[in-house]
Amino acid sequence: MSPAASAFLDMLAAERGAAANTLAAYRRDLEGAEEAIGDLAAASRANIAKLAGIWSDLAPSSVARKASALRQFFGFAVDEGWRDDDPSGALPQPQARRPLPKILSHNHVDALFERAEEEAASGKPTAIRQLALIELLYGSGLRASELVSLPLSAVPRDAPLLTVMGKGGQARMVPVSERAREALDQWLSVRPSEPASGFLFPSRGKAGHLTRVRLFQMLKDLAARAGIDPAGVSPHVLRHAFATHLLEGGADLRVLQTLLGHADIATTQIYTHVDAARLVALVNERHPLARRGASD
């Protein structure tokens, strides 16, 4: 890898706090491009344009990711004075369509919680833990990895907010509903103290935390018991439901971006497609021409 590409990765780690997986992906993309056309800091536009042919067998989403990595590198190279031009225009621009997220209907969410509440009423610690987990997934929109790794210290004492460490080591505050707070209090009253663990949801027999795989299995099993197809239920689906249902309720997109911990508003904007029916109804009801047509 060229010194310029290495310096770019160092910048991502130091200034943007990029996660290890993100840095590894950028490294692969930069190394692959330099193997094909040489030092990117000195590559001509003609050579950069050849990447379209080299990447022709890849999926549009893969090409888009690689091109994005190189665009960011070229912007960095111009800022550093290594290039006089930004040759990003020579990169391919595939129309990669991002799939819409799966979501749960309000009825399915209600059924899931009714079953979880019934089971928690038994007083079994595992059932109480299960209720606390889904309350935080749906009530606060946490990622599975964020949820299972929550430390005990993240639980709010007075303020109804939870401190979450998200992607790239970025901390954010998310609200905790009264329902979730009650479920958490109930869980803390039965949470095992052995083995000693600093995690809110410790694993059995170890000092670590509940795994994402186990969380995934728990939700699938709960969905089956609630009469819902398990194939359509996962921690990420509950996170999507949180976002979509908030948007339906009138939440601002920027607020939603903050709650979800998205670095780019474009990631959050996908939920506007899911909520298209509400937007159409809003135009039909509120647009001045709609009122004019009704009165004619």
Domains of the chain listed by start with CATH number:
3-90 (1.10.150.130), 106-235 (1.10.443.10)
Catalytic residue among 26, 138, 245, 271: 271
- To the query of whether residue 236 is one of the catalytic residues in this protein, the response is yes
Question: From CA 124, how far away is CA 128, in angstroms rounded?
Answer: 6
Of these ranges, 151-160, 194-203, 274-283, the one predicted with the greatest mean pLDDT is 194-203
Find the DSSP H helices in the chain. Answer: 3-15, 20-37, 45-49, 51-54, 60-79, 106-120, 125-140, 144-148, 178-190, 212-225, 235-248, 253-260, 265-268, 270-274, 276-286, 288-295
pLDDT by residue (tens digit) across 183-205? 999 999 999 877 677 889 998 76
- To the query of whether residue 240 is one of the catalytic residues in this protein, the response is no
- Give the position of tokens 């993100």: 22
Q: Which amino acid is at 74?
A: F
Q: Is the pLDDT of residue 271 over 80?
A: no
Q: Is the overall model pTM greater than 0.85, yes or no?
A: no
Catalytic residue among 143, 191, 209, 240: 143
- To the query of whether residue 143 is one of the catalytic residues in this protein, the response is yes
Question: From CA 83, how far away is CA 68, in angstroms rounded?
Answer: 18
Question: From CA 147, how far away is CA 127, in angstroms rounded?
Answer: 17
Catalytic residue among 27, 50, 71, 167: 167
Question: From CA 238, how far away is CA 250, in angstroms rounded?
Answer: 19
Catalytic residue among 236, 254, 286, 287: 236
List the structure tokens of 130: 């299960």
The predicted model gives 152-166 an average pLDDT of 76
Catalytic residue among 108, 239, 240, 245: 239
Q: Is the pLDDT of residue 60 over 90?
A: no
Query: Which pLDDT belongs to residue 3?
Result: 92
